[in-house]
Structure 1
């Protein structure tokens, strides 16, 4: 009998799904929720947390006890930073050698083009992430400890720092961060967290070690310029479209309008937090946000979507290899979204735009919703679970998992950019 050796994508998917199921089992424990939870809702919540999406069928603030919220928080941290990042730490702690196969799995998990330096990258990623989250906890504690007391204030700071840095969008408050729509500290700290987490860790480390812009990697240059342009453009689009909307920012002061527009401009590309009622925004704004959710953040980051570099690769059409891969990922992503939207349109009693918004939010692992998530049918929840999982791991990862030839046999060009 032929010995079957699993490929790195297959191992990654199996491990990821296993941890999701384990997380769902923890959430089904009697002391994890206030009024109990069904398996499908526990599975949905665990998937949303592990894929750092943020869509919820139950209110995190009221349906889960502190134990349940901590489980969600740990799933977010594990899913956001990557299973293999923590695996590297454990391997080193117990003195076990990291072999070639483990390095290939780490390469797949961190979406790198080669195995060179992946262990060092994983170690730096874990250290960098924990340091950034701790700094954010300090700043948020200064804001929330006086309001909620030491324990609750620090707990809220830790939960939201982890959720924001990993682009999850989960909150321990029912209205997300709507109560802090014009708060400068919360706006700045939270947005910096999910922008740093979403720009891509290879970009962050490249910026750290390279002082001159000309010497930066192509990936880094594309992400910096692309993110800057897209964020500025999105701010003005949302500011202008929502300026006279009485249900969102019309009644705010000019400074309040700027705060709210800025936050909602940078959050759709997978952060998931909101300071405005998404369901009350103009349809033109929502359509624009759908585009941002589909684009997502940076490769090798906590963000989802087809990735900004994928979009730039198509728009700039610089290298044929990247065009082919970017088109494949985009078409695959569109097929997933179209199929999910089609099924939800049959099973859910909701307007088409609401369903499309939900589908793209799940694929982009954003977590924003126009209010449909809590009313999803069983089939609807199953569809969104699958869409979140594909959106997090990437359509091409699933394609490679069932491919007969390893994607590692493909040679990379002289300089690489990440597109998935």
Structure 2
């Protein structure tokens, strides 16, 4: 069989699997058709094993593709054996229940297989078109569109959903925003909630980070272009270890989310109002770490049973801070602590091994994050004493609520207070914190802490008459300063345009509530003054666009669309412009 024919059969089978999985998951089948699912899955698996076996012998032993095909065959055979074993071990059950056990195994195996095939699709896109910004924005757009279509399946929602609301929900999930036009806990089934949390996970990390996780194991088949793209996407300096770092990001994320889910479960174990505690823990651990803000609770954590669970809130705060501080800071801190620990047992070369381990970027990130958290906590503790903090009798409860109010605007989106009832000065501070957002290279949004820090430092340097920003024997490049102010200007222009459009479409709405919603959408925070569910269709499209632009970064998109400027080796005479 020719290789080209095999490739066509592969694509046809992939599409067949995808449609069958969608049909099986999203539509309710009659009882008489349910027994047919397992034979269909078995036939598909046998067909795939046959195709992959033929393809395996088409390549030489030195070809890296052969290794990948062998891995695919291993997945398929393992799935078939595991499903067959589950079927025979459950013969004592009724026929329908007996078929359900292998069905789940078939679904997981085929889903993992399709994920592997997706990596090859992305690698093919690398070869035919290479523009990091455009590919980044395009991948998010396609994921949003696919997510919207999946959310419209009958078994995903309780009472159905329109395309606009599905598009809004998918955009909010992929862009890890958290704004919702429907009640996630009541209007979506558990299947729908599972789909939302999968979209959150993919959107928080990016499909290309997941791709690098698999590419790391098959890096012999990775191109230089892919490495350059992933280097830009993960903000990595070392090109040699870029795929390893991408795989580490996925591994660290899943590990932290697992620990977070366990801690959340232990903190809600005594709450009787939560039905499925395991799912609740996993959902909110992923949502918190990815700074998404989605919750299966109708009022987020303002519910009476959750509002006073302070241990739960501290777990969520820890997940939000770690997810929003950035992977570069996590890796740099690990390297610094590792070398510091090794120096305790080393008598020679201590200084040479620790110089410049903790980068300036990490210092700016941790200092700015700490200052904003402390500032927010102090402000909310004193400003909300006679407002939202009145409901908490203990000092520890007031401290926890004030700290949570300082942490969650940083693109997280959870709330333990009603933002429609807090004081106006507090709302303005929340807007300010949302606008700054998380740190670069993280799952959060906003203009980023480093952008705010660089702009602030530049203001102080200009006020002192300095032409350069100097920190700890290091100078910030002029291109970094220009980029910071460009990001700030573009963010304010985007938010201002959105506010203007919403005031046009919603003339009866309050200006502060509209501004709050637009800042929340751009910073992918997800906090709301209960305005989003009441918006008209044109206003929803505006918020969708703002969430998308806020997540991908309009400046990055412009770079991708306009291309790189050619290097010029001449300079025109300078002329001063009257500024003040």
**Alignment partner for residue 493 of structure 2, among 324, 331, 335?**
335
Aligned counterparts of 2:422 and 2:278: Cα–Cα separation in 1: 32
Q: Which has the larger radius of gyration?
A: 2
Aligned counterparts of 1:274 and 1:359: Cα–Cα separation in 2: 17
**TM norm structure 1:** 0.92
**Alignment partner for residue 56 of structure 1, among 170, 177, 180?**
180
**Alignment partner for residue 210 of structure 1, among 328, 336, 356?**
336
Aligned counterparts of 2:216 and 2:241: Cα–Cα separation in 1: 15
**Alignment partner for residue 354 of structure 1, among 499, 513, 516?**
513
**Could you tell me how far 1:292 is from its partner in structure 2?**
0.5
**TM norm structure 2:** 0.67
Q: What's the C-alpha RMSD, in Å, of the aligned pairs?
A: 2.1
The CA deviation string for residues 120-177 of structure 1, in whole angstroms up to 9 with x for no partner, is 2211111111110111111111122443599711110000000000000000000101
Kept in 1: contact 2:409–2:430 (CA 8 A): yes
- 2:493 aligned with 1:367, yes or no? no
User: 91-100 or 60-69, which moves further after superposition?
Assistant: 91-100
Structure 2 partner of 1:251:
391
SS in structure 2 of the partner of residue 216 of structure 1: coil
Kept in 2: contact 1:112–1:300 (CA 8 A): no
Structure 2 partner of 1:140:
264
**Could you tell me how far 1:92 is from its partner in structure 2?**
4.0
Structure 2 partner of 1:86:
210
User: 89-98 or 129-138, which moves further after superposition?
Assistant: 89-98
User: 342-351 or 47-56, which moves further after superposition?
Assistant: 342-351
Kept in 2: contact 1:24–1:39 (CA 8 A): yes
Kept in 2: contact 1:28–1:42 (CA 8 A): yes
The CA deviation string for residues 377-400 of structure 1, in whole angstroms up to 9 with x for no partner, is 111111111111111111212111
Give matches, 1:172-183, under 5 Å. Answer: 172-179=296-303, 180-183=306-309
Aligned counterparts of 1:328 and 1:113: Cα–Cα separation in 2: 23
Structure 1 partner of 2:484:
326
Kept in 2: contact 1:167–1:366 (CA 8 A): yes
SS in structure 2 of the partner of residue 215 of structure 1: coil
- 2:14 aligned with 1:14, yes or no? no
**Could you tell me how far 1:250 is from its partner in structure 2?**
1.9
Give matches, 1:266-277, under 5 Å. Answer: 266-277=407-418
Kept in 2: contact 1:298–1:307 (CA 8 A): yes
Aligned counterparts of 1:400 and 1:186: Cα–Cα separation in 2: 42
Kept in 2: contact 1:365–1:392 (CA 8 A): yes
Q: Structure 2 vs 1, CA of residues 191 and 35 (structure 1 numbering), >3 Å: closer, same or farther?
A: same
Kept in 2: contact 1:181–1:256 (CA 8 A): no
SS in structure 2 of the partner of residue 287 of structure 1: helix
Q: Structure 2 vs 1, CA of residues 150 and 306 (structure 1 numbering), >3 Å: closer, same or farther?
A: closer
Structure 1 partner of 2:115:
none
**Could you tell me how far 1:323 is from its partner in structure 2?**
1.2
**Could you tell me how far 1:94 is from its partner in structure 2?**
5.9
